[in-house]
Structure 1
Amino acid sequence: MAATEFGHDEGNGIDFEPYAAFDSAEETTDWLRSRTGNPGLDGGAYRVFGQDGTGGPALWCVRPGHPLVEQPVVFMGSEGACGVVAGSLSDFPWVPADGIGPMEAVEYDDLAGRPDPVLAELAERHATTPRRLAREIVLGARAEFPGYVRDVEALCR
């Protein structure tokens, strides 16, 4: 996914730039501190893998002993957007394939996107989970991790 161009299409596409590698531990700690305003936090529970104009998605390493592909994808933006995007890294490619960006997945309840055939083909090649609609993936992840936003808000200063 890292080599994929996401077309922003003047606000009608997906504003997302995947990274070629996860951010370093230091960069991730800086990312978490800037999102929460809390200088005492350590970003060890996160693996940031991209950005958009307001923030970025990360893996939230909340499932002890599980590989990274089984960790949920979360989003934190600079303007307070925060939430769970997908229940696993493998589910995540189906969300943009359905036309929904990481920020839109946490900011909006109307998750009717514009499917992108190029991103759908990419998801078919790389996802190990079956194809599902973005709405189903996002709502399932929110239900599985209902306290995530509250927990992040408690970290904010």
Structure 2
Amino acid sequence: MFAAGLIAVGLVAGAGAAILAVPRDNVILMQPTTIATLAPYSTVAVKGKVAEIFGNKFVIDDGSGRALVETGRAGEGGKLVAAGETLTVQGHFDDGFLHGDLLVHADGRAESLRPPRPGPRGLLDRLHGHEVAAIFPGAPDR
């Protein structure tokens, strides 16, 4: 009976350790395009400067035009980006908005704007933040 209990505790502990050891998500960045050439209902990346901030939305300007970026719950409070900051936003462009999925700051720090995943991994996203490793096209392997 004691041996069966030890095996059960070991299985539960192993499953818990496996859940906590979830690797970060890797995202391949798209080549940025100009705002003037954005096509409706497309997945795009845009690089520019933050012109204005409105709560969980901000305006990005790349010289060819300006676009309103929706950041969802991750941007609530207006602390996600700073006015004048240069960054790359990757997401979906439709209905006149760029619905951001990923922000890459000038220092290379990447932040996911997607909601947490369902299930145990989503619980870890909510507890520890959703970590993302951005892989730049043409970058050497790590």
TM > 0.5 between the two? Answer: no
- Whose strand fraction is larger, Structure 1's or Structure 2's? 2
**TM-score calculated relative to the size of structure 2:** 0.35
Q: Which has the larger radius of gyration?
A: 2
**TM-score calculated relative to the size of structure 1:** 0.32
Higher RCO structure (Cα 8 Å, ≥6 apart): 2
